[in-house]
Amino acid sequence: MSRAVVPGTFDPITRGHIDIITRAAQLFDEVIVGVAESAGKGPKGPLFSHDERVALARESLADLGNVSVMPFSELLVRFARSVGADTVVKGLRAITDFEYEFQMAALNYQIDQEIETVFIMSAPGNMYLSSSVVREIARFGGDTSPFVTPCVDRALKGKFDA
């Protein structure tokens, strides 16, 4: 049985993330979406708490039968090993993503040579989409519904309409 981890901060999970996860679910018997704590990310940390990001990912991915969502706050390769995965799947949008992810894959390989990294290119319609762009649209009262699931759209409104 093949098992892969798709890691990320998912602050929030977007339709771009869901596309990569859905495509990974077609390639592997089981996919574990690892929601990283990422407390130090950005000047103020993530918009959504770790628990909120896990809950939003679970609700957004509920229709994918071979996908589960788990929180993690350790080295990615250690998390992958702890859940029995031997593959990490990363989505790539642009060359800047590749440069960063290439470095991370090389470092992960140095830590654990038995964990393979597989890259999936974003669908052309999602190449511009990122969590930070979605947060910015929401912050200024824009419509985020084309970019996220309904539960995430509601959660974003709850953060910025208060």
Which residues are designated catalytic? Answer: 17, 41, 93, 131
Cβ pair 91, 16 in contact under 8 A: yes
CA–CA distance, 92 with 99 (Å, rounded to integer): 10
Element (H, E) at 118: strand 116-121
Pairing of strands 67-72, 87-92: unpaired
How many C-alpha atoms does 161 have within 13 Å on its Cβ side? 9
